[in-house]
Structure 1
């Protein structure tokens, strides 16, 4: 239930607080005074689109904040709160909550900056618009005069049927099956498209694989061949320089160094003091000998064959051709070859893959159609009960002679969607002897208003939304119809918190709380204010609603009588409801 609503710097509102209790709270005032600001505030809290134009001129931001209390036994709401990471009220064990268990509390806040950006908060923590919207949807329901147009849309009719029968979870399960079926169908379509040019693709892939496999490249081979090519290209020069270097080492350094080593060894045999030098020279001689041997091995390994250079060059050309066609590096060429071979294998096994996918599509389609048929049957059962309940509500809304029905053509499996194949349509006849026709062709504005109220009453009795906001749903009605609508709203307020923005004195007369919305001037600027009327001021406001500014004593007396009569009816209704509860 909505315990408090705080609005600051929104449109003409400088600051406004509304603290409705249980039962019926009505908001009245002149046209254009700003009564629908309440509806706009709830719309913003539910994640609706905002505009920087809504921020009061001169203010940096607009703020809308609501404090809700909720039943901890509301499972869907509790699951959403848990998913949002919010602390939940303690449960009295797995069997549910105790009757005296304290209510859960939730503060929803939205800030709209003058630049148009928005921020959402849940109990002081930032949250996403989607999270906040889904939570508020379970806390408050809104019906505005514009919602009447929804009745003309068949999609709304399906929503009513599913909501009335608690079929939304079953419909969601059907949507999952539909998505799975579509995904497998798309895979099958792709495979069939590939199958159409399978032979051409297979020949092309086979050629590519064969070309790479015949050359048989190795990772890093091109780099090794480049080094080998350089050696072959300069082989004569390398051999000449190598031989000269060997001769110098052997004749000009090696022979004299060998003599020095021999002399120092003889000296060390006679004088130990020169032993260290003798060892160092001997070591240098051995290193020089190793160098000579390494140089010999290098020269022996140098190819001195023009044909070898041609072979290496030809191999490099082959590898370069592969890299130009299949990848800038040999590693990528090899990766391409593996992928091409895998695709080729798939094409070779395409018949089996097609058969497997076709079988899976058939299986999933059978599951989907069975679920759709089950949902359709449930909808038809719900529709029969729904028609009876709506008819009863219409009778109490001065439409006793009206007929309401749901036409549900036979389903067409070929046109199935995520919602199933049903396309129910509400049909209506306000006068005896007239055939049932679609609402858009027969219903007047006043009849639509009452039909919308009847639907809200039917749905509100079974859902767990505790607060219902009506924004001028009384448009287009008067007289006896107005009395019946007022009575129906009071009945709804017997088990829901109802906030009603109205121009009808018949509705305002039954208020448990009556708020007056008015515009005034402050410091040269227009502001919208809201005041809770004491009982003694209510007759004057109802008289104004009846006669405008020219309030007479007779009008005032009638307004007082209307309040007293409505109060007596409310007491009778309360006693009747208590008796029924017993």
Structure 2
């Protein structure tokens, strides 16, 4: 349950610090105020703690960031919540602190029990902490695609639905694989002939990785063979005659010097080594010179080979390594084509197995939904009667669908739509066609009450669930919300005095101007202040003594019903 809420620099709120005493936690907390006072900002603050997207425009003008922080007390028996906290490394304490900082640049940081968290993790945790219902949820009732989701939530069918979806996705993947293989089967002969030609062309040429680079170097040498011969001959003559004769005399002279002066022995040895090294170079130059040849026929062969390799690289890959790899993959595909009949048969067997499993799961889910639908119709009509409908009829309409593989979807065969009739003698019709604003409000409240009885979420927040409601219906809605508050912590932003009077706690949202700036504040009302607020809600500026008496009576009756 929500124990504390702190807000700083959110829209018109400069600072807000709300604390709910332990004896006040379990019950109805109401918030009222003039239209435009900023009641929706309160809802936005709590909504921001649910990990949802935020706008930088929500940060109070002139501030760098806004902060929202809430402290919850939770039941350790809430296994789903405890597992999420443990898996996220946030501990398993019975208190949870969620904090969000939204910067003026639009970036957000989330914290759970002081540790950084992702928006997704915060959303998952907050879904187990609180349930919010507003006018947006009423509009969802008009969206037919939401009806199946609600039915599955009430019947706790989501585990089975997700299991079906997983198996359905696997079945679809296998179907696509089979479809592609059958298409390849039709094109098999043409593909096989083409692949065989390509692989044979490459294998007959037998290219080797790096061969083109070696041939390019040889081509360059052959094209410049005459120049290379001339240069190497000139170098050979220079080194073997003129330079070598001088080196021989130098070696002889230093040798004589060394015999006369022992200190020159190392010099003589080094020069002698240089001379022998020069002789080795002479032999190398001679061998290089003799290896050179001018072979126009070989040059033509190289050019032809390089042209062929270039064609291969254009057709099969940028390098000869890619060309060789293409041939290997082609050979592999040729083997697959040879075994395609066997692979198709095996894949058909897999598809049939998945189809059987999916059909079984879908049939089981449909049967469970049918039973849940029957219970939901009875439960909803009972709830609606308590919300001032005389002879309501609520029908879970099932579209007739052929239960064949072709009509199956990832969420099953069922096409569900809620039908409703508020008046005796009138046939139920789709919600979107007949439900008024006030009727939608009560329908949504009835559904939320049914859900609250099944889940472990302890805090429920209603935002103007009383829209379009008055008279006897307003009294009924007030009683229903108070009934829900008997086993949940309920926050209700309301315009109805009947609901406001039943609150265990009553806060008023007020918009004021201070130091030239507009601010929204939230004040906890005393008994006298509650009477004044109820008078305002009942009659506005036209209040009389009778209005005040009515407000006091509302408050007294509500207190008696709370303690009854």
Please give the range of the TM-score, normalised by the shorter of the 2 chains.
Answer: 0.7 to 0.9
| Counterpart in the other structure of 2:539 | 547
Map 1:138-153 onto structure 2 (within 5 A).
Answer: 138-153=128-143
In structure 2, the residue matched to 1:383 is: 373
Q: How does 1:124-523 map to 2 (within 5 A)?
A: 124-233=114-223, 235=225, 298=288, 301-303=291-293, 305-412=295-402, 413=404, 414-523=406-515
Q: Cα offset for 1:418?
A: 2.4
Distance in 1, matches of 2:267 and 2:10, equals 100
**CA distance 1:303–1:495, change in 2 (3 Å):** same
For 2:247 and 2:65, locate their aligned partners in 1 and report how far apart those are by CA, in whole Å.
95
Q: Report the equivalent of 1:92.
A: none
CA distance in 1, matches of 2:68, 2:258: 104
Deviations 1:76-113 (A, max 9, x none): 22232234332223xxxxxxxxxxxxxx2222222333
Q: Contact 2:390–2:423 (CA<8 Å) still a contact in 1?
A: no
Q: Distance in 2 between matches of 1:286 and 1:538?
A: 116
Report the TM-score when normalising by structure 2.
0.88
Q: In structure 1, how many angstroms separate the alpha carbons of the residues matched to 2:103 and 2:177?
A: 47
Q: Distance in 2 between matches of 1:150 and 1:238?
A: 87
Match of 1:152, SS state, is: coil
| CA separation of 1:568 and 1:212: change in aligned 2, threshold 3 A | same
Distance 2:271 2:9 in 1: 98
Q: Residue 4 in 1 paired to residue 8 in 2?
A: no
253-262 or 509-518: bigger deviation:
253-262
CA RMSD of the aligned region, Å? 3.3
- TM-score, scaled to structure 1: 0.85
Shift of 1:473: 0.9
| SS of equivalent to 2:399 | coil
Work out the number of aligned pairs and report it: 558
Separation (CA, whole Å) in 2 of partners of 1:109 and 1:441: 42
Aligned partners of 1:439, 1:273: CA distance in 2, in Å? 117
Structure 2 portions without partners, runs of 5+: none
- Whole-Å separation in 1 of the counterparts to 2:385 and 2:264: 131
Contact 1:519/1:527 (8 A) holds in 2: yes
Contact persistence 1:27–1:502 (CA under 8 A)? yes
1:36-55 to 2 correspondence within 5 Å?
36-55=40-59
1:286/1:158 Cα in 2 relative to 1: closer, same or farther (>3 Å)?
same
- Stretches of structure 1 that go unaligned for 5 or more consecutive residues are 90-103, 573-582
Moved more, 6-15 or 185-194: 185-194
Secondary structure of the corresponding residue to residue 47 of structure 2: helix
What are the Cα deviations for residues 301-345 of structure 1, in whole angstroms up to 9, with x where unaligned? Answer: 555654333333333333233233333332222222223333333
The within-5 A match list for 1:5-20 is: 5-20=5-20
Mapped partners of 1:132, 1:433: distance in 2: 48
User: Quick check: 1:154–1:423 contact (8 Å CA) kept in 2?
Assistant: no
Label 1:512 to 1:211 Cα distance change in 2 as closer, same or farther (>3 A).
Answer: same
The answer as to 2:527 corresponding to 1:527 is no
Give CA deviations for 1:266-324 in whole Å, capped at 9, x if unaligned: 9999x999999998898778767766665665566555654333333333333233233
Partner of 1:22: 26
Report deviation, 1:381: 1.4
